[in-house]
């Protein structure tokens, strides 16, 4: 039985048994029951505020989680981008064949000027692209 049910039961006992035959006792019982009912009202209010608070905190936690998730994703994306740029700048190779020794090799066009000679890694001779 909840406190509210117990008080309702008490009220039923008092009213049913007709204990309060004189006005003074009736007032006493009414005040007593009124006090109990006021307490349960306040308890209910506190309980519902607590439920609201818990809901609010849970919402807040969800929000924090999604913010965390978003920032982690951003960090991951930007790392990805940086990695792609490195790849473009440092790992783009073009095939070339040395006219001196006839061997194939790969060179990075980004590190050569357009009219700069290529250096063959096999025989070390410079030649035009």
Q: Report the interface residues with Zn ion, using CB under 5 A.
A: 98, 100-101, 120, 122-123
Contacts by residues 39-47 (CB-CB < 8 Å, ≥ 24 positions apart) = 39/3, 40/2, 40/3, 40/4, 40/7, 43/3, 44/4
Nearest to 118 by CA among 103, 102, 105, 129: 129
Nearest to Zn ion of 54, 125 (CB atom): 125
Taking the complex as a whole, the smallest distance from the CB of residue 116 to Zn ion amounts, in Å, to: 16
Tokens at residue 49, please? 């505020």
Nearest to Zn ion of 34, 99 (CB atom): 99
- Provide the 3-class DSSP secondary structure of residue 12: helix
Taking the complex as a whole, the smallest distance from the CB of residue 100 to Zn ion amounts, in Å, to: 4
Taking the complex as a whole, the smallest distance from the CB of residue 86 to Zn ion amounts, in Å, to: 29
Nearest to Zn ion of 6, 122 (CB atom): 122
């Amino acid at each position: 039985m909840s406190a509210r049910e117990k008080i309702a039961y008490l009220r039923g006992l008092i009213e049913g048994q007709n204990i309060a035959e004189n006005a003074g006792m009736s007032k006493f019982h009414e005040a007593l029951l009124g006090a109990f009912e006021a307490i349960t009202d306040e308890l209910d209010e506190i309980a519902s505020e607590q439920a609201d608070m818990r809901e609010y905190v849970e919402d807040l936690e969800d929000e924090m989680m999604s913010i965390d998730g978003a920032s982690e994703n951003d960090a991951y994306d930007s790392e990805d981008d940086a990695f792609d740029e490195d790849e473009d700048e440092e790992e783009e190779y073009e095939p070339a064949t040395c006219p001196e020794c006839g061997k194939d090799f790969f060179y990075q066009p980004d590190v050569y000027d357009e009219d700069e000679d290529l250096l063959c890694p096999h025989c070390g001779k410079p030649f035009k692209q």
